[in-house]
Amino acid sequence: MEKLQETLHETWHFYRRTLVLVAKGSRLYYAWCFSLMVIIAAGFFFYLKQHEVGLIATHMTDQVSWGLYIANFTYLVGAAAAAVLLVIPSYVYHFKPIKEIVVLGELFAASSIVMAILFVMVDLGRLDRFWHMIPFIGLMNFPQSLLAWDVLALNGYLFLNLLIPIYLLVKFYYRKEPNWKFILPFILLSIPMAVAIHTVTAFLYNGLPARPFWNASILAPRFLASAFCSGPAIIIIIFQIIRKVSTSRIEIEDEALFKISELIAYAMFLNLFLLFAEIFKEYYSQTVHIASFKYLFEGLHGHKQLVPWIWTAMTMNVIAFIIFLIPHTRKRLATLNLGCLLVIIGVWIEKGPGFVIPGFVPDPLGEIFEYMPNLLELIVSFGIWATGLLIFTLLMKVAIPIETGKFTHTEYKREVIPPRPY
Amino acid sequence: MENRKNRHFTRREFLRDLSLTAVAGASLPMLASCSKDEAEDFLQKHFREMTSEEKKRVIAKLEERYQQKYGRKFQISTQEAVPDTFWAYGLELSRCIGCRRCVYACVKENNPSRHDPQLQWIRVLRLKRGNLINLEDSEHYYNPDLVPEKGFVYLPVQCQQCQEPPCVKVCPVHATWQEPDGIVVVDYNWCIGCRYCIAACPYKGRVFNWAEPNIPKEEINPSVHYLGNRPRMKCAVEKCTFCIQRVRTGRYPACVEACPTGTRKFGNLLDPNSEMRYIIDRKRVFRLKEDLGTEPKFYYFFEA
Amino acid sequence: MRVFYAAVTSLFLLFFFVSSALAVVEEYTPPPMTEGMYPCSNCHASMEVNRKKRELKEEHTDIKLHHAESMRWCLDCHNASNRDKLRLYNGDLINFTESYRLCGECHGPQYKDWRAGIHGKRVGYFAGPGKRTYYLCASCHNPHDPKFKPIKPERPPHHPREDHDGKSEK
């Protein structure tokens, strides 16, 4: 009982001190947080309008009933799964440069999952009935419905990616050795969980015989391959920004970034190869089901809206692959960053709108409706991205000083930076 | 020194709480912005879990609400499936002339939204002769002066009431299920509007209320079934229910009665004397997209 | 034991009567006559019968026969001596309310399907304590020109997002 009281007291003390940490920062920090909050407010305001009128305020129709929100959701679940590419090198292979930043990567995964969950929430027509999905309180259709699985998997992964970093950070704050017997199983569990969340998301598209564009066994591997390209690319960019702006002078070695980029090279190869396999199957067999591919890559009956987008994405992916493949370009930060940007945008197009929309075109009765998100959807989407960035910023504001040893319990002198306990 | 620090802390804490809890707190104004009706509906149970007392209360509440909104006395039935019935539909493609009388008879009977958005449960496709299965070349918006047009075949499609319904499988909250008499129904008050079922349906049988439905008061049909044609609300999915309010009392569905060429047939598969059993025994019936394993109960056939 | 048999028998009879009471009552629509035409004997009782196959010039000029007109004419179906009746092939006379028997003589498969309820139109109740109304052949097919004429279709559905500016669907 006393131990529990002590733990609670410690947690409360930690929480209060993090509030102070988060509230104070450089001018750049204030400017960044303020502009994010402006975008969040705009997104929230437009969402209220959508909530009032109904989803008719978006540009979705019976023909294309999922749009920008679900496209972003798919992409962000992939980005979250990418944290596993940091967890495996650090905890399984004990690769030191990545070990130092794995906690930040896990917090990135948590922010990404929060964004994904928010995108699903704004897409729901009746958010006030969300409680129908809670197991035991509502009536969850488990195990038949893949959406039910997705709810459980996403929340489980979010829980893990908050529990592990926060536990480790709190222990480091108090200069206490983490109880590895307690936390290591969770860490090891997060590895298959990362694969699981993205596989479940792939399966929820995959299991629909009504949509031949999605009903391909190759979907889950393709999702994972593209996730392991885009997620780490975002991580690389973010870590360089952190390295530059953080007042705590955190040491993120270039070695870590280059290792991650090497993993991206493999993942991108797999992504391109699987895409090529799909294209061959469709264009060689030439069944009726090629219609969605035709719409995406060539245009169908004169409807060509997505064609320039997908070809831009393909070009970006191929160029990025070459950049990541060649060690010379991979190990130079300038070209590495270019490659990362190309991957992030290219995979977003390919996996977001370039995946969700062609599944609905043509619709099961052959009708073609060309969907383009309207202003409301764009602003709500920006609002959610800003929310995720803000959450990540605030988490970093706490985590980095702890990692560098600058933010510790007041018992310890500030000048002494003790060795890391793990 | 200590006091100044504490004051500083309190102000900042307030600001920080405001921003960080924005996401969590967003749900509260959303709930507050719901109308009082929706707040009452918030805790309503799933239809299948309601006791008969609760059902009666819900029906009374709905009747009152509809009376206020549409000015008509509604009769909301909750009649259960008649024992030993398994409904099936027949459509004689050789006789469909594409006049769309069925579409509008259904609209008149089943109270869907008329505009913003316009919801129709039946869609008639026009196909060129020589082609039946590849629906990609179908025309939905044909509008000639007279039908039938030469060289074309007309194929009406609506919810096929599958025996292995993909929509039921994917609904995350069990808002849609198959009744014992074979009709796939939706509890409109339980649906969360995720539209997964619309993505899963191979026949575009389901449509979505993208906004609060617009039904002119004088066109309302007040004899409704809770799971069928009662007026819906925004962001709930709806679909053809084989006119559940009619067939459970033994009446033909509205589209069957409206067809001027006698194309549409309806019957009970478990009754050996029914029209549907006659058709299946003697005519060459087929079903759409049978290769998907959905086992629809909508049988198309040709005579000539 | 006798009580048991009595109970069973009475239950059976009850079920039988109740079920037959619950059986659907079938009826047919009335024959679609032009107003004022029937009974035909009002004019034809006093007229001479002219069995020559010809085009009618004085009366019934609005009827254009497009129904096997190369092989048949009016008096092959309408009974010559009593115009209030129709004439079957074997000479039997039937009322206009039973005109389907005449149609069925040539159009056997359609007649069989119609009797079973799968050709043509029925409205009302197909089960339960209601009435099923069969439409007569002549209600849909004009016996003199049975082929369906093309009709004007109802309006096509709105294109997705077309009716977004609130135009009513009237």
> Are A295 and A303 within 8 A, CB to CB?
yes
Residue A336's Cβ-count burial label (10 Å; 0-12, 13-18, 19+) is buried
- The H or E element containing residue B155 is strand B152-157
Tell whether B140 lies on the interface with C, counting CB pairs under 8 A. yes
Cβ of B114 and C168 within 8 Å?
yes
- Domain-embedded: residue A57: yes
Cβ of B118 and C158 within 8 Å?
yes
- Domain-embedded: residue C156: no
> Are C43 and C36 within 8 A, CB to CB?
no
Cβ of A61 and C161 within 8 Å?
yes
Question: pTM of this prediction?
Answer: 0.87
- Domain-embedded: residue C28: yes
pLDDT, average across residues B81-91: 93
Give the count of domains, chain A: 1
Query: Which residue is closest to A368 within chain C, CA to CA?
Result: C160
- Does domain B87-301 correspond to CATH entry 3.30.70.20? yes
Q: Which of B96, B226, B214, B217 is nearest to B155 (CA)?
A: B96
For C2-40, write each residue's pLDDT tens digit. 877 766 666 655 554 444 445 678 889 888 888 888 888
Helix orientation angle between A102-123 and A146-173, rounded to the nearest 10 degrees: 140
Cβ of A124 and B198 within 8 Å?
no
pLDDT, average across residues C134-161: 91
CATH number at residue A175: 1.20.1630.10
Q: Is it the case that residue C81 has pLDDT exceeding 70? A: yes
Query: Which residue is closest to A23 within chain B, CA to CA?
Result: B12
- The H or E element containing residue A272 is helix A254-285
Minimum mean pLDDT among A105-114, A223-232, C68-77: which range? C68-77
Give the count of domains, chain C: 1
When pLDDT is cut at 50, 70 and 90, the band that residue B19 belongs to is low
When pLDDT is cut at 50, 70 and 90, the band that residue B1 belongs to is very low
pLDDT, average across residues C111-140: 89
Q: Rounded to whole angstroms, what are the CA distances from B233 to B193, B209, B215, C22?
A: 11, 7, 11, 37
Q: Which domain holds residue A280?
A: 23-404
Residues from chain B contacting residue A53 (CB–CB below 8 Å): 211
Tell whether B125 lies on the interface with A, counting CB pairs under 8 A. yes
Q: Is it the case that residue B3 has pLDDT exceeding 80? A: no
Q: Is it the case that residue A309 has pLDDT exceeding 60? A: yes
Cβ atoms within 10 Å, residue A21: 19
- Domain-embedded: residue C169: no
- Domain-embedded: residue C11: no
pLDDT score of C13: 57
Q: Is it the case that residue B37 has pLDDT exceeding 90? A: no
* Percent of chain C surpassing pLDDT 90: 26
Q: Which domain holds residue C87?
A: 22-149
Cβ of B99 and C130 within 8 Å?
no
Cβ of B199 and A133 within 8 Å?
no
Round to whole Å and give the CA distance between C41 and C81: 9
User: Could you tell me how many CB contacts below 8 A there are between chain A and chain C?
Assistant: 7
Round to whole Å and give the CA distance between B103 and C156: 10
* Helices within A127-178 (DSSP H only): 146-173
For B160-204, write each residue's pLDDT tens digit. 999 999 999 999 999 999 999 999 999 999 999 999 999 999 999
For A316-346, write each residue's pLDDT tens digit. 999 999 999 999 998 899 999 999 999 999 9
pLDDT score of A255: 85
- Domain-embedded: residue A372: yes
> Are A50 and A69 within 8 A, CB to CB?
no
- Domain-embedded: residue A254: yes
The mean pLDDT of chain B is 87
CB contacts under 8 A, B 189-228 vs C, are 214, 216
Residues from chain A contacting residue C161 (CB–CB below 8 Å): 59, 61
- Domain-embedded: residue C6: no
CB contacts under 8 A, B 152-191 vs A, are 157, 166, 169-175, 190-191
pLDDT score of C165: 41
- Domain-embedded: residue C114: yes
Q: Which of A61, A360, A370 is most worth mutating to test chain C (most C CB atoms within 10 A of its CB)?
A: A61
Residues from chain B contacting residue A290 (CB–CB below 8 Å): none
